[in-house]
Chains A and B, each alone.
Chain A
Amino acid sequence: MPTLPAEPTAAVAPPPFSRSRQAREAEDTLTHLVNDFADNPKSMDYFYDLFRRVFCQGESLEREGVLVGTTCIHAPEELIYALGATPVRLCNGSYHYDQIGAEFMPAKSCPLVKATLGLLQDSHAVPRVGKLDLIVNPTTCDQKLKSSALMTALGHTVHDLEVPRSKDTEHARVYWQRSVRDLTERLRQLTGRRLTPRNLRAAMARTSRAQAAFRVLHEHRRAAPSLVLGKDVFLVTNAFFFDDIDRWTAAVERLNAELAARAAAGFQAAQTRAPRILFTGSPPIFPNLKLPLLIEQSGGVVVADETCSANRMLYDMTAVDEWHLPDMVDSLADKYLKPCTCPTFTNNADRRRRLLDLARTFQVDGVVYQVFAGCQVYEMEQKSVADTLQQAGFPMLAIETDYSPDDLSQLTTRVEAFLESLKARKRHRPS
């Protein structure tokens, strides 16, 4: 007797992730990143492929061992690596999560924090790093600080890493060193392992190698005409958030080798007259690479940046005098605090000096200052940064935006106008 096909079960299998809105957003960005530009470096294929697999196809990145999420560059990753755990930067750039996170936060607030919260409420969050055993949340800006309680409410275990609001005073420095030491204690309880000079030294070796590789890449960006486009560099540094550190370092070293070959062959990735841009402000995080992409699609080149999703994250290196734990941990603490140009500190003299140094060294034509709508600290620093740069002869374009794609046309007009004015300036200026 023929049987009827079985009743469809009440629960229909969900469509695969790659067809979700979130994945499409990522795919859209990635397509622009790859296809809108000719002659992408071959070594970048690793990164394009990585993002495709992780963000568009939802591939699992789960690793063995303890997983510690971090929400800021202030969290010392070396300590996490030393104790056998893996750090994952949770700062998110997805508009999808931004909209979800908006339910938890006030109307006009930082899209980055909203997106992070959106990510954290999703039990199958993409990138699929797995279940977080701990989230280290440095108390930097107000919104990040208050989101700590929200994260706990979502069911996560959060450790508040206390960051001082000033980095100039001695007691601030000592306070931060103690915060870091408290973190080691917390991590010890979490992982059951103790910090030793040997394991910390091995961890520092891994991050130093990554930092050294980034420095070489940073140096390559200095070339005029440019060897590599900013959109690629942002993708590379964004990969650092979640990729395996040794694999990432090897990929960057391959990229550096290719760029060196490019330099020797006289290859240029952008036009000679393309305006060189220094990008600063709120961090562009994949898939929200809207503004850097826009700049480069309009003919500019982002040759340098001062953001915590790129330069600020990987630039500073640690020096240790004596390889004993107290000195090593305190050196790490100092390196995470002292040179940091994050706007959450009391004065921004260091940030202005860094911007000037970058602008001069990289022979930049103009500066683009991105501010996320709702970010109080970046907005407040805008004027002083603009004044400093303009006095030194670098025009600055300040753009307030968020993760939504709605303002794209408006931004295009402004960016194109800015780049035109830079080109005109270059023409009229004696070379």
Chain B
Amino acid sequence: MKADKPVLAALRAAVNGVDLVRFRFWVQLASFAFFVYGGYAAVNLGSHLPIFACGYNRVGKAGAGVCYLMPLQHQLARSWTTLFTGASLFILTGLAIFALWFIALNKAWCGFVCPMGTIQDWITALRRFVGIRYSVYTQSQFGWLKKIKYLLLALAVLIPLGIGDGYITRELRAPICQICPGRVLLPLFSGDYSHLSIDFTSPTTVTMTALGVFIAGLFLVGSFVKKRFYCFFCPMSALQFLFSKLALLRLKKDGAKCTRCGDCYRVCDMQIKAIADDVATADIMADDCTLCLKCVAACPETGALKVKYAGLTIFESTETGFIKRCQRGHCRAHASR
């Protein structure tokens, strides 16, 4: 066992000094290919996935699984007598399976796996390449904008319930799917352009399909100027946060080591200030957090931020890791860009 220690230490050092940007790029690319095209390899991970692996991306059976919000909305659109008796079991099992998927990776599903997240990161890379600076929200804007995702989650539950008992037209079935940019954009990757069309059957369908395309357009502009623009409003993020207490992957902060230098805040795509300023809380993962781990990579204080899986620290901020990444990033005398 003693011989293991230097090996373990070396492994630890290698992990803590990893080039996170490159690592994330490859994981995101692989996940994108898997979830958008995995169906061709006959992979089907079911319909309880905690990411936007769009269910409409099934033309030619392209997708490897379906985003949980779609079946959830369909399941809730039942008459209340069915819903609150027998069918509730169906829904609770579905929720349980979703929760099981979710707690494996916590919000890292958002930061590393979600195809829509990946698209946003690619758009951000494009913006960086072109040399346009990004936009930020002021703290007050941040405060009220972050509430929108809870509103959307509430609508995702309430509207199907209303449909079930006939209060709302069936045409509003799966309302979040109808307005989601994922429905419009993800099928494009397997050659399905049909979701770009406006359905003129009735005023409702016109509004909803127009809204869907409108939001897709906003998504493209928004994620061009703001990093991870859509993640801010994502109802899946809100749903996930409800289960985050059970998750195995956790982001922990040791406030005593924090100098509040704000390096983590500067790199955070979601502009979460609490990560830098809150030195009292240990469980520092906020509801907006996508667990992209950029903050851990940017922290120069050893042990201030830790990523733990089932209690075991797998990645932590280290001074040497920071300096190594910084040397790759900017301590080179000749800058590449």
Contact = CB atoms under 8 A, between A and B. Distances in A.
A–B contact at 8 Å CB threshold (below): yes
Interface of A: 168, 170, 197-198, 201-202, 204-205, 208-209, 212, 215, 219, 315-327, 330-331, 334-335, 338-339, 350, 353-354, 356-357, 360
Given A334-B266, A338-B276, A322 B331 contact: no
Contacts of A198: 335
Contacts of B138: 170
Query: Which 3 A-B pairs have CB atoms at the shortest separation, nearest pair first?
Result: A319-B263, A339-B261, A319-B298
Contacts of B277: 168
B175 interface: no
A264 B334 CA distance: 35
B323 interface: yes
A252 to B, nearest CB: 14
B260 A327 contact: no
7 contacts: A168-B277, A205-B333, A208-B331, A317-B322, A321-B298, A334-B263, A356-B256
B330 A335 contact: no
B330 A204 contact: yes
Interface residues of B, number: 39
Given A170-B139, A204-B330, A353 B256 contact: yes
Contacts of B134: 322, 327
Interface of B: 128, 131, 133-134, 138-139, 255-267, 276-277, 279, 294, 298-300, 319, 322-323, 326-327, 329-335, 337
A219 B335 contact: no
A318 B323 CA distance: 10
Contacts of A356: 256
Nearest to B128: A322
Contacts of B258: 353
Nearest to A349: B279
A179 to B, nearest CB: 16
B259 A350 contact: yes
Contacts of A219: 319
B133 A323 contact: no
A317 B300 CA distance: 7
Nearest to B276: A338
Contacts of A350: 259-260
Nearest to B124: A322
Given A319-B298, A324-B128, A202 B333 contact: yes
Find the residue from B131, B256, B300, B337 having the highest chain A CB count within 10 A: B300
Find the residue from B258, B276, B331 having the highest chain A CB count within 10 A: B331
B267 A316 contact: no
B257 A212 contact: no
Contacts of A319: 263-264, 266-267, 298-300, 322, 326
A326 B132 CA distance: 10
Nearest to A212: B323
A338 B262 contact: yes
A124 B131 CA distance: 47
Contacts of B276: 338
Nearest to A174: B138
A324 B131 contact: yes
A73 to B, nearest CB: 14
A317 B257 contact: no
Contacts of A331: 263, 266
Contacts of A316: 259, 261, 300
A338 B266 CA distance: 11
Contacts of B322: 317, 319
Contacts of A209: 331
A281 B332 CA distance: 35
A131 B169 CA distance: 80
A191 B332 CA distance: 25
A212 B335 contact: no
Contacts of A215: 300, 319, 323
A324 B127 CA distance: 11
Contacts of A322: 128, 133-134
A320 B330 contact: yes
B263 A202 contact: no
A168 B134 CA distance: 23
B142 to A, nearest CB: 10
Given A170-B139, A197-B335, A205-B331, A321 B262 contact: no
Contacts of A170: 138-139
Given A317-B263, A334-B265, 4 more contacts: A197-B337, A212-B327, A316-B261, A317-B323
Contacts of B319: 215, 219
Contact of B262 (A201, A208, A335): A335
Contact of B267 (A201, A202, A212, A321): A321
Contacts of A326: 133
Nearest to B301: A357
Nearest to B294: A321
B256 A205 contact: no
Contacts of B330: 201, 204-205, 208, 320, 323
B228 to A, nearest CB: 12
A17 to B, nearest CB: 37
A316 B262 CA distance: 10
A357 B256 contact: yes
Find the residue from B261, B298, B319 having the highest chain A CB count within 10 A: B261
B335 A323 contact: yes
Nearest to B257: A357
B6 to A, nearest CB: 16
A181 B260 CA distance: 22
A324 B131 CA distance: 7
Given A215-B319, A319-B300, A354 B259 contact: yes
Contacts of B337: 197, 323
A324 B331 contact: no
B262 A324 contact: no
A319 B139 CA distance: 21
Given A170-B139, A201-B335, A324 B133 contact: yes
Nearest to A173: B262
A360 B256 CA distance: 10
Contacts of B332: 205
A202 B262 CA distance: 22
